[in-house]
Amino acid sequence: MEINLLPKESPTRKYRLLAIIAAVVLLFGGAGTSLFYYIHLLNTTDDLTAELRRVKQDNVTLTAERTVDSQTKKYNQVKGAVDNLISEQNDYGQMLDGLASKLSDRTQIEQVSVDTANGTVHLNLHTDDATRIEEYAALLRSEVWVEEILVENIQQIVTDTTATGGVQTPDSGGFSAKLTITLKPRRAQES
């Protein structure tokens, strides 16, 4: 038989170490779980904040698009009205080309004025022969854009030859006339 004079180990001491280890594990587990949920909460908060900013920016963009859309509609309406006015206007470049192409070598246009409000073109002509004025008017009547031509004020130009020493120059003399051309509306030209 053995005699042990040392005090006996208490049975709770064995379990005390196990309880301390379990408490430490639970403490670290609880701290880790709390940390995990805190980080998850921060990430969720950041995601929600970013989503809120995106929604606010989308609202600003939609408001801007609505404003731009209404302004675009107004712009398109004004552009359509201007395009309509332009389409009803005569092509004055084509008309001037037609006026110039019908001129004879001895006929000159001294002045051209266009009255878009009344749809008329006024020409001041200079030529060496009065019949060339009527020939020019007859040629212009065949143009699509001409409704009526009125030849006014055919005058013979008498120049003073004393300045040239009594010599007739090619520029001296001749006839001048004023032509008033009434234009057809653009729609009448196309039909």
> 3-class SS at 51?
helix
pLDDT in tens, the chain (191 residues): 787 777 777 777 778 888 899 999 999 999 999 999 999 999 999 999 999 999 888 888 888 777 776 777 788 888 888 777 666 666 677 777 888 888 888 888 898 888 877 888 899 999 988 888 888 888 888 888 888 998 888 888 887 655 555 555 545 578 999 999 888 876 655 65
| Measured CA angle at 140 (ends 136, 142), to 5 deg | 130
> pTM of the predicted model, to two decimals?
0.49
- Distance CA(125)–CA(121), nearest Å, equals 13
For residue 77, the 8-state DSSP code is: H
Q: Check residue 44 and give its pLDDT.
A: 93
- Distance CA(21)–CA(160), nearest Å, equals 134
- Distance CA(103)–CA(126), nearest Å, equals 11
- Distance CA(22)–CA(35), nearest Å, equals 19
| 186 close to 89: Cβ distance less than 8 angstroms | yes
Q: One-letter amino acid identity for 149?
A: I
Where are the alpha helices (H) located in the chain, listed in sequence order? 11-88, 92-101, 130-141, 186-190
| 145 close to 183: Cβ distance less than 8 angstroms | yes
The closest alpha carbon to 100, from 91, 89, 112, belongs to: 112
Q: Check residue 61 and give its pLDDT.
A: 83
What is the tens place of the pLDDT at every residue in 94-124? 777 888 888 888 888 898 888 877 888 899 9
The closest alpha carbon to 109, from 131, 125, 97, belongs to: 125
- Distance CA(107)–CA(100), nearest Å, equals 10
